[in-house]
Structures are given as C-alpha cells and as structure tokens.
Amino acid sequence: MSEVSVTKDAAPVANALVALSGVNKHFGALHVLQDIDLTISRGEVVVVIGPSGSGKSTLCRTVNRLETIDSGSITIDGKPLPQEGKELARLRADVGMVFQSFNLFAHKTVLENVMLGQTKVRKTDKKAAEEKARTLLDRVGVGAQADKYPAQLSGGQQQRVAIARALAMDPKVMLFDEPTSALDPEMINEVLEVMQQLARDGMTMVVVTHEMGFARSAANRVVFMADGRIVEEAEPEQFFNNPRSDRAKDFLSKIL
C-alpha cells in the first residue's frame, strides 16, 4: 500500500457528495468545530475517531443541520443545506442518521417505524412503503420482529431497525454516531455486520466509532479529531500502523 495519505485533495471534487469547507461552530465560549475542511466522495466510507468531547457528534449533527454553523459552508451534492421547511425535512431524509440511542418511536411498531418517513416525507403510498419496509427489515435480519414494539426487541435488533428506517428514505449518505456504544458486547457484531454489508453495497458513510476492527476493514479513510480540529486523515493501514501526530499516537496507545 502506498505511503501517501488519502486527503480531501485526493478525492476528485466532481465526485464530492458531502463537502465541508472552513466550518466553525461555537457553543458559547467553546470553539467546538475549528476550520473543518472535509470532502466525502460518493461511495466512500469515512470513519471518524478521536477523544470524547473532540466534536465528532457535533460534526455529524451539522451535516443534517441538527446544529447550525457559525461560518463556512456545507454542501450535499453541490447544494448548500436548506434552512427550513420541507426542504429541510428532505435533507434529513437524504442524510440518514443513526444514533447511539436507537431513537425509535416507542409507541409505533417496528414496521410502522420504517414506514413513517416514507409516507410522510417521501409521500410513498402505504402499500409500497410497507413492502419496502419489510424488504429492508429482512435485509437487516429483523423481518420476524415487524409487528413488535421497539421495547420488545434487543438493543442490537433496535439498532438494526433504526438502520432500516434510515435506509427506507433512500439516503444519499448515512451518518452513524457511535452506533454500537450503547450495546451489550454480544450485540455489537450483528450491527457492525449490517454496516459492513452497506459499505460493500457502495453506500456513502460517515461512521463515528471506537470499533477499530470496523475502521480497519470497512473504512477508505480515517479522520482523527481532537479539540474541534481534524488533526490527521489517512488510509486505515497507515493511520493505525504509522500515525503521524502526537495526539493520534497518544489516543491510539490508550485504546489499542
């Protein structure tokens, strides 16, 4: 493998699906995102790692506008993020997000959870939405749970439903924010396997995770954040075997 790191400059801009340029974000006095430049190409899998509090979640949340930014720009498919209304709802459908806490609707069945966005945002008719929901639930291995309520499922099953729900919107990109951090250890792999399959199928993905095995096998690029900055980006082999920055070396020595 080449020693040359894959940086945003290496990605052909024409193929950029998500592009952050000079993004800054404060929470009061805290400068939580500092001059973030990040370009994600179509079909690319980017794993974001870094210490707690480094801004990884905030970075994800700015991309589907759960957080506003103070300066800089974010584009999806070359278009700036919409500010409000139907356009914003559509953006959130285009940018699928899976959180640490599964965030399913507790009072809706699994099937209804996966149908809801389709009928409400994409205006898919009910029959087609149900068919698609069942197909996706089968694909993530929880087809048999369709008529249950989220609380009746294990954490791993709930997280796979959350993935199916995001996929039902035909997202352009999927953001995963520590999707396995709240899971019992024996359920982590069943979720990572679904994510691995998505990556192989060509989904564009941004994954915040501490699962370094996943990063090594699925990521095209690792982005290391500390103190609100992107400190280093590289192919996984290079990053894990030969990190350049002291911050990354220190972080890896604590987790590996």
| Residue ranges that bind ligand ADP, judged by CB under 6 A | 27, 30, 32, 50, 52-58
**How far apart are the C-alpha atoms of 239 and 208, rounded to whole Å?**
16
State the minimum distance, in angstroms, from the CB of residue 239 to ligand ADP: 17
Closer residue to Mg ion in complex, CB, 137/219: 219
**Of 61 and 92, CB closest to Mg ion:** 61
Beta carbon nearer to Mg ion, 44 or 178? 178
Least distance to Mg ion, CB of residue 207, Å: 12
Least Cβ distance, residue 119 to ligand ADP (angstroms): 31
67's CB contacts (< 8 A; 6+ apart) are: 25, 58, 61
Q: How far is the CB of 61 from ligand ADP (least distance, A)?
A: 7
Separation between Cα atoms, residue 132 and residue 77, nearest integer Å: 25
Q: For ligand ADP, which is the closer residue by CB, 60 or 161?
A: 60
Could you tell which of ligand ADP, Mg ion, none binds residue 55, using a CB distance below 5 to 8 A set by kind? ligand ADP
Closest CA to 239 of 214, 221, 213, 218: 221
Least distance in Å: CB of 99 to ligand ADP? 11
Asked if 45 and 223 count as a contact pair (C-beta separation under 8 A), the reply is: no
Pick what 27 binds: ligand ADP, Mg ion, none; C-beta below 5 to 8 Å, kind-dependent.
ligand ADP
Q: Which is nearer to ligand ADP, 50 or 243 (CB)?
A: 50
By C-beta, is 50 or 156 nearer to ligand ADP?
50
Q: How far apart are CA 147 and CA 145, in angstroms?
A: 6
Spatial separation of the C-alpha atoms in residues 250 and 230, rounded to whole Å: 15
DSSP 39: E
Q: Which of residues 36-65 bind Mg ion (CB under 5 A)?
A: 56-57
Please, what's the b/e burial string for 7-43 (b: 16 or more CB within 10 A of its CB; e: otherwise)?
bbeebeeeebbbbbeebebeeeeebbbbebebbbbbe
CA 10 – CA 234 distance, rounded (Å): 11
Specify the residue, 55 or 179, whose C-beta has the smaller distance to ligand ADP. Answer: 55
Q: Which residue in this structure is represented by tokens 């995102």?
A: 33
Residue 52 contact, options ligand ADP, Mg ion, none, Cβ 5-8 Å cut-off depending on partner type? ligand ADP
| Residue 24 contacts residue 35 (beta carbons within 8 Å) | yes
Residues 180-239 contacting Mg ion, CB under 5 A: none
Q: Please enumerate in sequence order all residues whose Cβ is within 8 A of that of 14, keeping only pairs 6 or more positions apart, or say none.
A: none
Residue 132: which of ligand ADP, Mg ion, none does it interact with, CB under 5 to 8 A by kind? none
Shortest Cβ 105–ligand ADP spacing (Å): 23
| Residue 171 contacts which entry, ligand ADP, Mg ion, none (Cβ below 5-8 A, type-dependent) | none
**Which residues sit at the interface with Mg ion, rule CB under 5 A?**
56-57
